[in-house]
Amino acid sequence: MIFLDLGNQPFANSYQTKFSKTKERKYRLLIDYNIKNNLVSIKKRFSSQSIFNNNYPYRSSMSKTMRISFKQLAQKIKKTINPSRVLEIGCNDGSFLENFNNKNSIGIEPCKNIAKISKSKKINVIDEYWNFKLAKSILEKYGKFDLIYSANTITHIPNLNEVFKSIRTVLDEKGVLIIEDPSLLECINKNAYDHFYNEHFYVFSYLGLSNVLKKNKLKIYKVENIDVHGGSLRYYIVKENLKIKIQKSVNNQKKLELRKGLHKLSTYQKFAKKIQLSKKRLKKIFKKIKDKKEKIIGYGATAKSVTVLNYCKINSKIIDFFLDTTPEKQNKLMPGLKIPVKAYDKKHLKNIKFIFLGAWNFEKEIKVKEKKFIKSGGKFFTHIPFPRFIN
Ligand code: TMP
């Protein structure tokens, strides 16, 4: 059942240059709640090849928060699970695997430009899409793995049954699968509708994910709430037959989601109403600043902000430009409304009073980095959890 319409949207990570002549692909961003299995997904499906190709601009190492999060998790895994062989699905530029011994680990990364960065760190990378065919060939060549990790990747693949069947194929009988993705409960609590864009086929709740896992003879034995990406869940998963204590955190998460009504359509309909209100209020903030003839820039040319800008129709007359540290995004245009992206440089903050925080999920890190801007009276604003000035 479709509960939310975020309008016509471009492909979130397809940054174009000024000179690009190809017409941008657009689609209607409709969000669906499946009452049978509790999965929330976008209505339209795209081929992986049309999104995750050799021009993919996202790099997980661009934020200190992510680098630290991966490092701390790697240390914890070494202490508690102590795996002999690690497989990462969607290893991006290697920020997780670089914490392990390269001889015993393999990363899967289909975007060849990003896989190349991982390879330059001497990580073993297979630059192909995760599917059953690949899993079988990995099994033949390398055998099974006692740790499989995947962060912010499984939600990008429409066919979840194939994803988990493939994982089962290469997961050791006693092996652990750890996956982490934005939490649907946090997404609703924070009105973070910008988690929805063409790459994120799903935003998982515990309720939804556990249904899919059960179907694929896997079970969750521990859940951790983590701060990254505005509130994510990290699930610890094993094969259904493995005898293991199911930790309290699992039932706690289940109870919490039921209490908050994540199994009811009415919860999603209320969420949609709040999003419409959020749009009105955010547009009001932009208007108020522009009425004063002040300049506004954006900070963090995120895929998330592409959803917000195109939904709220904020164009380059309103935001002069975005700043971003990712080389792959710089000197290009934000998809859709074509706001220019400049390389991050403190000099661009001079004489600026208002910044729209596209990378709201890194608020803490950015506030520390931009102490001077804040001290001199500069203001960040965001739509999370409702449109407001941060400082
Ligand atoms: P994400 O929210 O999808 O991880 O994207 C974060 C984007 O924000 C990414 O393009 C890098 C950018 N960024 C900056 O430009 N400066 C920063 O200080 C941080 C933390 C992120």
Q: Once rounded to an integer, what is the mean pLDDT over residues 122-136?
A: 97
User: Strand, helix or coil at 296?
Assistant: strand
DSSP, collapsed to helix, strand or coil, labels residue 318 as coil
State the Cα–Cα distance between residues 321 and 334, nearest whole angstrom: 9
- Cα separation, 355 vs 348, in Å, equals 11
Mean of pLDDT values over 250-274 = 98
Find where tokens 């963090």 sit: 300
Q: Is 69 in the pocket of ligand 1 (CB under 6 A)?
A: no
Residue 30 CA, ligand 1 centroid: distance in Å? 25
> Burial, 329: exposed, middle or buried (Cβ in 10 Å; 0-12, 13-18, 19+)?
buried
Give pLDDT, residue 357: 98
Token pair in block for residue 224: 């951790």
For residues 125 and 140, give the distance between their C-alpha atoms in angstroms, rounded to a whole number: 17
Is the CB of residue 367 below 6 angstroms from any atom belonging to ligand 1? no
Ligand 1 atom 1: the closest Cα is on which residue?
302
Asked if residue 102 has pLDDT above 90, the reply is: no
Residue 78, both tokens: 């070494």
The band of 19, judged by pLDDT with boundaries at 50, 70 and 90, is confident
CB atoms within 10 A of CB 316: 15
Expressed in angstroms and rounded, the spacing between residue 59 Cα and the centre of ligand 1 is 9
Mutational pocket test of ligand 1: of 326, 367, 380, the residue with most ligand atoms within 8 Å of the beta carbon: 326
pLDDT tens-digit readout, 182-205: 999 999 999 999 999 999 999 999
pLDDT at 101: 86
Residue 87, SS3 per DSSP: strand
Q: What is the model's pTM?
A: 0.96
| pLDDT band at residue 18 under the 50/70/90 scheme | confident
* pLDDT value for 35: 96
pLDDT band at 241 (very low <50, low <70, confident <90, very high): very high
Read off the pLDDT band of 20 (50, 70, 90). confident
Give CA–CA dist 212/155, Å, rounded.
12
β-bridge mates for residue 340, sequence order: 333
pLDDT in tens, 274-333: 999 999 999 999 999 999 999 999 999 999 999 999 999 999 999 999 999 999 999 999
Residue type (1 letter), 155: T
pLDDT tens readout for residues 42-93: 999 899 999 999 989 999 998 899 999 999 999 999 999 999 999 999 999 9
> Alpha-carbon distance 184 to 177, whole Å?
20
- Find out whether 257 and 207 touch, Cβ atoms under 8 Å: yes
